[in-house]
A and B are shown apart, each in its own frame.
Chain A
């Protein structure tokens, strides 16, 4: 029953995730793990750096691309469609793939990233945006959703050193 005590407070297990990717598909692993862990009583910190910062924008506009991704095979009419890179390079193909992915997400009852992010906020997942990345790409804190802290590598490390699980996605 000691495990049962891990539902908050000082005895809670802790997890950190470094979030480095900002595409629609790669947005899922950090938010799914963060929200689920929080639901299981884990104290979660997400550190958003480089392209991961896209996931904190007030208005999400996430895309997928199959370019250079040999494993991306979308289900289509009972088959699985992989496209050659030269097709993926054509303007509009990424937009088409994004629409397809969003339709699949809806059809299969998979949560939207907006919903998962909202759930993360509701369950007190701590979100830190990398200050250096903001400076590098000339973003403002006001571009990001409320409740996000700014910090750097040392801020992350302080938390990571005390955490049970540290992931890099």
Chain B
């Protein structure tokens, strides 16, 4: 169970990333943020976001057109 969940369904680039970055601030270091999105571009983008910022992408899955990401707040 993630510490916090962000519903970014229906939002398009770059909003899921911007909202995630903002919400990540509310997650304590070491905590996890779950993001739900429908933008197919977010799969590559969350991977790139995490590689660049040093946060850890623990999970990236999809189910019925909804993408689910779990990010561990490191940086």
Interface of A with B (CB < 8 Å)? Answer: 1, 3-7, 32, 35-36, 39-41, 108-111, 119
B40 contacts A by Cβ under 8 Å: no
CB closest residue in chain A, given B11: A109
| Residues of B with C-beta under 8 A to A7 | 53-54, 75
B37 shortest CB reach to chain A, Å: 10
Q: In the assembly, what is the distance between CA of A111 and CA of B55, in Å? A: 25
- 23 interchain pairs (CB within 8 A)? A3-B51, A3-B52, A4-B54, A5-B54, A6-B52, A6-B53, A32-B13, A35-B18, A39-B21, A39-B49, A40-B52, A41-B52, A41-B53, A108-B12, A109-B10, A109-B11, A109-B12, A109-B15, A110-B12, A110-B13, A110-B15, A111-B14, A111-B18
Number of B positions contacting A (CB below 8 A): 20
Does the CB pair B12–A39 fall under 8 Å?
Answer: no
6 shortest interchain CB distances as A-B pairs = A4-B54, A39-B21, A4-B75, A36-B14, A109-B12, A109-B10
Main secondary structure on B side of the interface with A:
loop
Chain A residues lying within 8 Å of B74, measured Cβ to Cβ, are 4
- Select A40's contact among B13, B39, B49, beta carbons within 8 Å: B49
How far is it, in angstroms, between the C-alpha of A68 and the C-alpha of B3 when the chains are bound? 51
Minimum C-beta distance from A102 to chain B (A)? 14
B17 at the interface (CB under 8 A from A): yes
Instruction: Compute how far the CA of A35 lies from the CA of B17 in the bound complex, rounded to whole angstroms.
Output: 9
Query: Given the complex of chains A and B, what is the CA–CA distance between A72 and B67 in angstroms?
Result: 30
Smallest CB separation, A3 vs chain B (Å): 6
- Bound together, the chains give a CA A4 to CA B72 distance in angstroms of 13
Interface residues of B in 28-75 (CB under 8 A from A): 38-39, 49, 51-55, 74-75
Q: Which residues of B contact A36 (CB under 8 A)?
A: 14, 17-18
Chain B contacts for A41, CB-based, 8 A: 52-53, 75
**Residues of B close to A6: CB separation below 8 A:** 52-53
* Interchain nearest-CB distance for A29 vs B (Å): 11
Nearest neighbor of A1 in chain B, beta-carbon distance: B54
Contact B52 A35 (CB under 8 A): no
**C-alpha spacing A109/B52, complex, angstroms:** 25
